[in-house]
Every structure is written in C-alpha cells, then in structure tokens.
Chains A and B, each alone.
Chain A
Amino acid sequence: EIVLTQSPATLSLSPGERATLSCRASQSVGSSLAWYQQRPGQAPRLLIYDASNRATGIPARFSGSGSGTDFTLTISSLEPEDFAVYYCYQRNNWPLTFGGGTKVEIK
C-alpha cells in the first residue's frame, strides 16, 4: 500500500498569504496524484488531478506540482473560503489511498 504523508499537519496563515502544502508518497505514483479540499460538514471537493491539472471551476490561485514521490499544492493568496482541510490522494496503485490531511487555519 502506498502511504501518503502530508506536511505540515496544520498551517496557520492570514488571508492574502501564500499557502504551500506538501505530500510525500512512500513510492512513486508518477503523476497520478490529486488534491481535495474539505470544509466542515461538506463532502470533499476535487481541486487538482494528475498532479497539476485544475478541476472544472477551480480558481487559478490553486496550483499543483510535482511527480514521483514529492508533490506540492500552492494557494497563491488565501481567500476566507480557503480555510479548510486539504488531502492528497493517489490512484496509481490499488488500494487507492489518501494522505492524513493538512488543516489550513486562520492565524
């Protein structure tokens, strides 16, 4: 099973600041990695797939990069609605797996 390790666990930032979230895979997943956002009480929302492609309707302030085992989600300038939990996810190998999540909270 591929283990995805996200860091940091919590990121405390102010609106307008840049957020950089990391995800490391225990073995290569190629580019088969996605990022999800989850707000309290809501289902997850797909942000990025194939490491760097934005899903439909996702604002340009969200960007993804990386390949192999190291991946990054960047939010260029935090909006109030961006304070949430973010999960990375791989579909390169069965079983599919999620990272443990990074909570982006208001400082």
Chain B
Amino acid sequence: EVQLLESGGGLVQPGGSLRLSCAASGFTFSDYTMSWVRQAPGKGLEWVSAIVSGGGTTYYADSVKGRFTISRDNSKNTLYLQMSSLRADDTAVFYCARGIAPTTSYFLHWGHGTLVTVSS
C-alpha cells in the first residue's frame, strides 16, 4: 500500500524558515517524480513544486520560486521542501503527492497534509 506521511509543519514567524518532510513507503520511491501541493485555509489547491526521480530536475510555482527548495533522499525514501522567507500567504496545508505512473504528474496518491502557519 502506498503511504505518504508529511511532517514538519507548525507555526513560524514571517520571514522565517521551515523544512517539510514526506516519508514514502509501499512503492519504489526512487522511480517516481514527486510533488508538493498546498491549500490555504478555505481556498483551492495550488501546485508548489516537483522533483524528478533522480533529483536532477526541479520545478516551482512562480509564487515560491527563489524561496522554496525541493529535494529528495532516495536512500531514505523521503521528499523535502525547504521553505524560507515565509509570508502570511504561505499559510496552508502542504500535501506530498505521487503520480499514477513514474513520470506522470496526475496525483493519485496524497499524504494527509501538514499545516504551516505563518504568523507573528
């Protein structure tokens, strides 16, 4: 069974940093492109970032480019999102997501999400 378990969320002050993790199990993690998707309270879904299987190519939404860094450790089956220069509008539930196929970003599997709150 595919499982994605996010952690690392919490309360952070504006301008601060936070690192999210997503522990994957039940599939060959190193084969799959992985993404982060977020959802602000009461709002819609926003794709944030993606990283290909080997980690050599990354993609970002314009809203986070230059502030967030996606990475992965295939030896630990873990996906990361390093977030810096956080703003109030970054407050959201952050989901880790995996596609239906290794290079296909149709998100079939989702974690439960981790809440990031940016507030003073």
A positions within 8 Å CB-CB of B: 1, 34, 36, 38, 43-44, 46, 49-50, 55-56, 85, 87, 89, 91, 94-101
Contacts and interface: CB of A to CB of B under 8 A. Distances in A.
Contacts of A96: 35, 47, 50, 59, 105
Q: Looking at chain B, what size class is its interface with the partner chain? A: 20 to 34
B61 A43 contact: no
Interface of B: 35, 37, 44-47, 50, 59-62, 95, 100, 104-108, 110-113
A30 B73 CA distance: 34
A96 B106 CA distance: 10
Contacts of B113: 43
A28 B36 CA distance: 24
A22 to B, nearest CB: 16
Given A46-B107, A95-B61, A36 B100 contact: no
B108 A46 contact: yes
Contacts of A101: 44-45
Contact of A43 (B47, B100, B110): B110
Contact of A87 (B45, B59, B100): B45
8 closest A-B pairs by beta carbon, nearest first, are A43-B110, A49-B106, A96-B47, A98-B45, A91-B105, A101-B44, A95-B61, A94-B59
Contacts of B110: 43-44
Contacts of B59: 94-96
A44 B45 CA distance: 9
A43 B109 CA distance: 9
B44 A87 contact: yes
B62 A1 contact: yes
Contacts of B60: 95
Contacts of A87: 44-45
Contacts of A55: 100, 106, 108
A38 B110 CA distance: 12
